[in-house]
Amino acid sequence: MYALLFSQVLRRIDAERVHHLTIRLLRVVQAVPGLTGLLRRLLGPRGPEVEALGLRFPGPLGLAAGFDKDAQVYEALAGFGFGHVEVGTITGEPQPGNPRPRLFRLPPDRAVVNRMGFNNRGSADAVARLRRRRDVVVGVNIGKTKAVPEEEAAADYVKSTERLAPLADYLVVNVSSPNTPGLRDLQAVEHLRPLLRAVQEAKGATPLLVKIAPDLADEDVDAVADLALELGLDGIIATNTTISREGLRGDPAVAAQAGGLSGAPVKHRSVEVLKRLKARTGDRLTLISVGGVETAEDVRTRLAAGATLVQAYTAMIYGGPLWAYRINRELRRGR
């Protein structure tokens, strides 16, 4: 039924408009007393539970950052089958993001191109909404405010850390979005080391992870892994969106749009990076795999390759609100 709705209606409407409509609907769901708890009982994961980062996750599948940018609807999202929800990316200061249009679908490739540019209300605004949460594992993904120069990036991340780390189950430093000028330069170890050290000093006891791009060369993946071990980080999330457009079959005009590509085309490289990180770090880090996860078999593949947890986002766009529930059901059935 959702496939028919998507093909006949939703794909004809601007993607960002559909996203905002979905957020409004989820806010209505969340506002009904007891409804999110009921949904979690009906649609939520029922194991196998995963212990990681000093936390207990009700299932291995979570929602990646990018959907609930301002921590508005994570409770409702958990009601639709996600074992955890990563909110953000949240920046130190509020910002509108890049000019519209900035979100584009590629249905033949089961992919999306976005150049949102960390549009969000800022870390101070998210505090009250994160303070109210109940019974949901919530990660908070933080990024650099666009207007902040690179040499002041650490202070900007620390500002968000001081506000949000006490309210997060885990914290993620995002240095891998292609949509903020200069952000990916922070993945270079000489820039990343002082940044992560500054965040570490400010985060308290909250577990800390870093999110990397699929476009890193293998030797740079190794360097980030080594740095994570050196600093005693809790984990790495691999991978973010890609700037590659190799092998796409969808509308060339859409494929040519600037921004990060997510969805099925990222799958192969995401698994490659995961395996490389696992070989480099063993069991010393929690690895969260994201990028091109569409099926229960994809989840099993990531877990077998060394991931402790798995995240997705684009597949929900094409699979609909019950997508995570179906994946969890198939995982339980061993299919």
Identify the CATH number of the domain in which residue 166 sits: 3.20.20.70
**Helical H runs in 32-100?**
35-43, 74-78
Q: Quick one: pLDDT band at residue 142, thresholds 50, 70, 90?
A: very high
- Over residues 144-177, the pLDDT tens digits come to 999 999 889 999 999 999 999 999 999 999 988 7
Say how far apart CA 165 and CA 208 lie, in whole Å: 9
The C-alpha torsion from 211 through 216 and 220 to 224, rounded to 10°, is 0
Average pLDDT of span 283-296: 97
Q: Summarize the confidence of residues 225-238 as an average pLDDT.
A: 97
pTM of the complete model: 0.96
Say whether the peptide bond before residue 48 is cis (omega within 30 degrees of 0): yes
Q: Mean of the per-residue pLDDT values for the chain? A: 94
Is residue 282 a contact partner of residue 230, using CB atoms and an 8 Å limit?
no
Query: What pLDDT is recorded for position 46?
Result: 84
Catalytic center residues: 177
Domain limits for position 240: 2-333
Contacts of residue 205, defined as CB under 8 A and 6 or more positions apart, other chains included, come to none
Calculate mean pLDDT across residues 130-151: 92
Q: What is the pLDDT of residue 186?
A: 77
Q: What is the mean pLDDT of residues 249-254?
A: 95
Binding site listing for FMN: 65-69, 89, 141, 174, 211, 239, 263, 292, 313-314
Q: pLDDT grade, residue 211 (50/70/90)?
A: very high
Residue 335 scores a pLDDT above 70: no
Q: Which residues are annotated as a binding site?
A: 65-69, 89, 114-118, 141, 174, 179, 211, 239-241, 263, 292, 313-314
Q: Say how many domains are in the chain.
A: 1
E strands present in the chain: 50-52, 55-57, 61-63, 85-91, 103-106, 111-114, 138-143, 170-174, 208-212, 235-238, 260-263, 286-290, 309-312
Instruction: Enumerate the known binding-site residues for substrate.
Output: 69, 114-118, 174, 179, 240-241
Arithmetic mean of pLDDT, 60-68: 98
Range with top average pLDDT, 36-50, 61-75, 321-335:
61-75
Nearest residue to 312 via CA among 67, 58, 116: 67
What angle (nearest 5°) sits at the alpha carbon of residue 23, between those of residues 22 and 28? Answer: 95
Cβ proximity of 16 and 103 under 8 Å = yes
